[in-house]
Structure 1
Amino acid sequence: MDIKKSLLLIFSAYGCFLSAQEKAIDTVYVFDNQMNKVKLFHKVNTIKPQDFEKNSTNLSELLRFQSQVYIKENGRGAVSSPSFRGTSAGHTAFVWNGININSTFLGQGDVNNIPLFGYDELEVKAGGGSVQYGSSAIGGSIHLNNNLEFNKGFHALLYSEAGSFDTFNNFLKGSFSNDKFSFKVSGNYFISQNDYEVPEKEYINRNGRYYNTSINIGTSYKIAPHQTISWQNQIFDGSQHYPIFTENGNKTKYNAQTLRSLISWDISRNDFSNSLKAAYTEDNFQYFGDIDKPKESGAEGKNYIFRNDFNYFITPKLNVNVIGEFQVNKGLGYQSGIGDISRNMGSVAGLARYFVSQKLRFEAGLKKDFVENISSPVLYSFSGKWEPLKWYHIGSSVSRNFKIPSLNDLYWQKGGNLDLVPETSTNVDMDHEFIFGDFRLTLSPYYMDIKNYIGWLPTSAGYWAAFNTYSVEIYGLDSQITYQKNFGNHNFRVNAGYTYSKSTNKQTGMQMMYVPLHKAFGNIDYRYRFLNVYVQGLFNGLTYTTTDEKRADAIDPYFVLNTGISANLLKHYTLGFKVNNITDTVYQTVSYYPLPKRNYSVYVHINF
């Protein structure tokens, strides 16, 4: 089989192309078709829905225990942001079905205002990816994917959980598909009084209540053997009450609403494919300085996005990919100094892939962004993947990435700065993969140099303002071990990782705030017939919370262990019990906001 047919079969397995015989693939339609090409050159950690249920509290908990990302959470369920490979919150791109959904106001994703349930998979890609996914894809990107299957009939599931601190979580999903039509809908409602206590810290999570509701609707129709029209929607409404430290403290809260709608027209043939997308996203928030009074501030953000992804095999070994995108970002602030603003953005990217053989391939990419009133750099990426031995694969990449100033950085009053320039980074990444039977070990050294770092600093006039400040140098190592083995009725699965991140402010030589030098996570699953048991652990090393590495203010190292057991009954029913933090560890990811000690939950999962 020649390389062209081999690659087309790989692509079709993800639902992007057709096989060499041009027979329609009915398995699944994937909205983020670019990710399938990324996987040919980069290591991607995929988390499936069955693993969501282990850490069902929120997306923060899932990423903390099942990925290399460090999550900073101001108390359970409150404001939360990522630190990926030693970077800050604005250096991680959240991507929903191929569309970058970082807030245009904040320039980052608020992890706990992104729903956890309703996706068919969550993928974590480390390293630079701005050529494919735009601003903020510097430390890495987190992909929230919905897929639509054909010829699968009717399926439904119900997940219902009750836990400590008056926590209730309910998720319902249904789907139907035939040879031409596919439909999927899901809804999730989560509420928690969240009033946990940590006596060792004399801490009660007063006013910690939070709740959220999300709805996902997706549909796809084959208008011709090689053409599909698809529509994906997500609605989220949430409220977070911010913890207070005294019983008579002033109670505040933050409400957030998001709407995302994406229409895609996809053509897939033997030698080429084209995906045309039109998306509308809306991000609104309101801050209440007193939960019983009207809002004190807020904003409404609306984004109109048009994206076309064209892929063509010139020869069986040479593939070209052209991506064009245009956005209109609109924002309207309330009591923030941000008026009625609008920003136009566009980009053109070209990628060429050369497949020397089935074991050696290269990719080169070039991209130019056009951002209104901002001079944007030319971005590039060069990647290669080689499989010299059956048990050893090596990949490497060099890329230039960027982060544009957010609307808050530019327009917030007082403090916004219209003279800001984008942050830029040079990334060097490598993957060394060792495969011995069912055992896989990946070692990924990396290096980043970030310039024009945007930070908010105090001014002589008494307020904080945004500036391009210093440069940051980051180097370290990601590693991951996976193992899966079946022994008759016994199934054993291991997924563990370790990350070392040395992230230095080049001006001071000090480690960046909230970047632990060491983080390790591990998940062990064991199944015997109808019985399932899992154990997961998290180790986090010393974490500085000040710019001068003050040890007294640092977060001490900690180790947290979770476990759970479930039983599959009568094929369609699963009953489970979980114990979180079984070691009763006192720990925090942000100063002054401890996370819960030992807590419990029970759940039922029903398949129809």
Structure 2
Amino acid sequence: MNKSWIIGLLVLNLGLKSYAQNLKQDSVYQLPEFSTQTNRFEQFSIGNKIIQTDSLLKATQNNATLAQLLALSSPLFIKNYGVGQLATTSFRGAGAAHTAILWNGINLQSNMNGQIDFNLIAVSVLDEVSVFYGGNSALYGSGAIGGAVLLKNASAFNKQSAYYRLGLGSFSDQQHYVGFAKGNAKMYIKLNAYWRNAINNITYKNTALPDNPLTTLPHAEQTSYGGIAEIGFNPNLKNTFSVKYWYGFSDRNIPPTIGAAVSNSYQIDAFNRMVSEWKYELKTIRVNTRAAYLNEYINYQDPSTYIFGKSKSNSWITESDIQWTPNTNWSFNTGVNNTFSYATSDGYSALAERNLTSFFLSSKYTGVRNITVAASIGKDWLYAIAQPFTSTLGVAYKLPKHFTISAHLNKSYRLPTLNDLYWITGNKNLKTENGIGEEIGLKKEIHATDFYFSTQANVFNRIVTDWIVWVPLSGTWTPQNLKQVWSRGVEWSNTLRYQSSIGNFTLRSDWSYVLSTNQKAAVVNDQTVGKQLIYTPRLTHQHFVSYSHKWFYFGINPTYTGYRFITSDNSAFIDDYFITNVYTGYNISWLKSHWQLQFNYNNCFNTQYMVLPARPMPLANWQLSLQLTFK
């Protein structure tokens, strides 16, 4: 036995106690309740399905990207182009540009294409991740037709800690994470940063060759780094100030697809995001004012085809809202948001810009007869041009025997992106997309001292008209308002948590069945009418089982994704797949330090699969991490 293994065994036997207690505390047995600092997005979202990522699951996935975390913890379908490559979301059969991504209240959707790459977001820099289902442009703004993902960073008043985490894995994956927080009652500073490099030379069964030989994926290396720095100031009980800055950089090669000879292309992504916030609170009134700056840079290079493209985008966002809570039954919120965006690109003939002003008004009633009702309306102006009214109505009613029935209605919309309008082959005559959605849910919850159980079923329906599609016309691709998409389906979620003298148990499962079909013919004899949208699985389900006791913890996370059609007429599809990930960890407390050693084994049954056609995903692979924390 060599020295490295001896050192490893010594680390494993130092006796981890305190960190296990931390895991135990994280395994709460009631769903987290919103504090008085809850923002308007959470407080006035009633009747729609909401998933708050399990704190224990997030703690075991701190080396993951947001795309990986959401794929494991929610019924969201993640369109993943390969390990480390582009990853976008689909809410209940909606498009990637139909997802609002809000970071501490600021919408991060690209003003150029309306999307965001979830593989460029490191979970380690975030404190909370929540998924809000259903359209709600009245609260989230243009683009929130499918749903929203909320990212939050918690304040660190009266807290202090520091950590370093090392991660190693298959495909020459190396990761370094560092963070600290120090605060008192008046002020805090906080930092979370990361650096990661991976060759990503995965092996896969090459279906383009006879006998499907194992092939190593070339030209897939990626380097990324970034972090979030925060400072907060609390001069008195009425005022709180904070500034958060988020930087990210990624340099990744783009590997060839299965069957392609070679690829020399690569892409550099960089972003700067800053938000400052002032909160002023009285007994019944709270004022929130935010100012944000978003900057994105993309540089795509393909020397083989002589395709080169650079783009830069900037957004300046200001928002102020006031909330009035006259009594325990009623709450009102109103405010205004202004977003000025501009972008340059090799695909534009000139500078593209837009100025969008939004007004919103919300009210919420919590009745004495177990009923809660929330309503919101919104109105946007693009320069001086009025956009469609948006609205939402949500109701939740508590029934006997721990049941709650809920309903949610919404009218949402999405503006064409700058690419849709100002690309060289864009279309400045595009109309806005409009969505109308309905949702009904039934939930049962049982709370006890050492036991929590919930089961929830939701049925949803949504029609999106004037869906924008890029189609070939006269030899060039251009966007048109062609589709009318009808999405409907059912979801079922279950959670069980149990605490006993022999350990803590958590079980969770999420099932989703989605039909999302085109209802409008674009041409004569259109074979896509009534057919499922491409890359949209009908059936998905995710499961999470964990056990922890004292210093030890273990978990298993199986996920299933149904087949996806790859042609609009549904004549061809790619296979379904079932992936199982497992992890185990050991915790030690020694003096004022906490040690955590964790091993993850992903795709442990060595399943060959693709999320999207000709984009191979890794077979069985491992990750090992060691974290040292001081408090």
- TM-score, normalized by the shorter chain, greater than 0.5: yes
**Residue in 1 that maps onto 2:21:** none
Q: 1:107 aligns with which of 109, 114, 120?
A: 114
Give the superposition deviation at 1:58. 2.2
Distance 2:46 2:163 in 1: 33
**Residue in 2 that maps onto 1:439:** 453
- Residue range with higher mean Cα deviation, 534-543 or 429-438: 429-438
Give the superposition deviation at 1:15. 4.8
**Residue in 2 that maps onto 1:6:** none
Distance 2:60 2:218 in 1: 26
SS at match of 1:351: strand
Q: 2:318 aligns with which of 297, 306, 320?
A: 306
Q: Which amino acid aligns with 1:306?
A: T
Q: Which amino acid aligns with 1:556?
A: D
SS at match of 1:469: strand
1:43 matched to 2:53? The reply is: no
Assess, with a 3 A threshold, how the Cα gap between structure 1 residues 544 and 390 changes in structure 2: closer, same or farther.
same
Q: Which amino acid aligns with 1:148?
A: S
**Residue in 2 that maps onto 1:514:** 535
SS at match of 1:385: strand
CA offset digits 1:178-201 (Å, max 9, x no partner) = 111122111011111001011353
TM-score by length of 1: 0.91
1:417 matched to 2:431? The reply is: no
1:603 matched to 2:616? The reply is: no
Q: Which amino acid aligns with 2:453?
A: F
Assess, with a 3 A threshold, how the Cα gap between structure 1 residues 503 and 263 changes in structure 2: closer, same or farther.
same
- Residue range with higher mean Cα deviation, 276-285 or 349-358: 349-358
CA offset digits 1:551-581 (Å, max 9, x no partner) = xx31111100010110112351111111100
**Residue in 1 that maps onto 2:554:** 533
Kindly report the root-mean-square deviation, in angstroms, between the aligned alpha carbons of the 2 structures: 2.1
Question: Which residues of structure 1 form unaligned runs of 5+?
Answer: 1-11, 18-29
Distance 1:176 1:141 in 2: 31
Distance 1:374 1:77 in 2: 41
CA contact (8 A) 1:206 1:247 kept: no
**Residue in 2 that maps onto 1:385:** 396
CA offset digits 1:486-506 (Å, max 9, x no partner) = 011400011210011000100
CA offset digits 1:432-451 (Å, max 9, x no partner) = 11123411001111110001
Q: How does 1:437-476 map to 2 (within 5 A)?
A: 437=447, 438-460=452-474, 462-476=475-489
1:580 matched to 2:602? The reply is: yes
Q: How does 1:165-564 map to 2 (within 5 A)?
A: 165-199=171-205, 201=207, 202=213, 203-245=215-257, 249-290=262-303, 296-333=308-345, 335-357=346-368, 359-372=370-383, 376-413=387-424, 415-437=425-447, 438-460=452-474, 462-507=475-520, 508-550=529-571, 553-564=572-583
Give the superposition deviation at 1:204. 3.1
Distance 1:533 1:358 in 2: 43
Assess, with a 3 A threshold, how the Cα gap between structure 1 residues 556 and 332 changes in structure 2: closer, same or farther.
same
1:567 matched to 2:586? The reply is: yes
**Residue in 2 that maps onto 1:71:** 78
Percent identity, please.
23
CA contact (8 A) 2:196 2:223 kept: yes
Q: Which amino acid aligns with 1:89?
A: A
CA offset digits 1:423-464 (Å, max 9, x no partner) = 11001012211123411001111110001100100002x000
**Residue in 2 that maps onto 1:25:** none
Assess, with a 3 A threshold, how the Cα gap between structure 1 residues 374 and 111 changes in structure 2: closer, same or farther.
farther
CA contact (8 A) 2:128 2:152 kept: yes
Distance 2:386 2:143 in 1: 16
**Residue in 2 that maps onto 1:142:** 149
Give the superposition deviation at 1:337. 2.4
**Residue in 2 that maps onto 1:84:** 91
- Residue range with higher mean Cα deviation, 565-574 or 172-181: 565-574
Distance 2:90 2:244 in 1: 29
Q: Which amino acid aligns with 1:499?
A: S
**Residue in 2 that maps onto 1:34:** 40
Distance 2:192 2:277 in 1: 20
CA offset digits 1:273-302 (Å, max 9, x no partner) = 1100000011111111139x9982111100
Distance 1:48 1:65 in 2: 11
**Residue in 2 that maps onto 1:123:** 130
SS at match of 1:131: helix
CA offset digits 1:315-345 (Å, max 9, x no partner) = 4422211021001101111x21242122100
CA offset digits 1:15-67 (Å, max 9, x no partner) = 535xxxxxxxxxxxx6xx12330455443211256533544342222111111
CA offset digits 1:183-239 (Å, max 9, x no partner) = 211101111100101135354321111121111011111122111011111000112
**Residue in 2 that maps onto 1:23:** none
Give the superposition deviation at 1:241. 1.0
Distance 1:105 1:308 in 2: 25
Distance 1:471 1:247 in 2: 34
CA offset digits 1:339-380 (Å, max 9, x no partner) = 212210000011111222272111111110111386521001
Question: Which residues of structure 2 form unaligned runs of 5+?
Answer: 1-31, 208-212, 521-528
Distance 2:56 2:465 in 1: 40
Assess, with a 3 A threshold, how the Cα gap between structure 1 residues 52 and 185 changes in structure 2: closer, same or farther.
same
Assess, with a 3 A threshold, how the Cα gap between structure 1 residues 338 and 494 changes in structure 2: closer, same or farther.
farther
Q: Which amino acid aligns with 1:450?
A: V
Assess, with a 3 A threshold, how the Cα gap between structure 1 residues 338 and 387 changes in structure 2: closer, same or farther.
farther
CA contact (8 A) 2:438 2:462 kept: yes
Between the two proteins, the alignment pairs up a number of residues equal to 577
SS at match of 1:223: coil
Distance 1:396 1:149 in 2: 36
Assess, with a 3 A threshold, how the Cα gap between structure 1 residues 217 and 258 changes in structure 2: closer, same or farther.
same
SS at match of 1:224: coil
SS at match of 1:117: helix
SS at match of 1:148: coil
SS at match of 1:77: coil
Distance 1:597 1:421 in 2: 44
SS at match of 1:548: coil
CA contact (8 A) 1:364 1:381 kept: yes
Distance 1:357 1:459 in 2: 60
CA contact (8 A) 1:93 1:109 kept: no
Q: Which amino acid aligns with 1:52?
A: K
Distance 2:349 2:55 in 1: 39
Assess, with a 3 A threshold, how the Cα gap between structure 1 residues 285 and 200 changes in structure 2: closer, same or farther.
closer
Give the superposition deviation at 1:143. 1.1
CA contact (8 A) 1:563 1:578 kept: yes
CA contact (8 A) 2:44 2:363 kept: no
SS at match of 2:235: strand
Assess, with a 3 A threshold, how the Cα gap between structure 1 residues 288 and 53 changes in structure 2: closer, same or farther.
farther
Q: Which amino acid aligns with 1:210?
A: Q
Distance 2:126 2:261 in 1: 40
CA contact (8 A) 2:80 2:611 kept: yes
TM-score by length of 2: 0.88
Distance 2:367 2:163 in 1: 45
Distance 1:50 1:149 in 2: 20
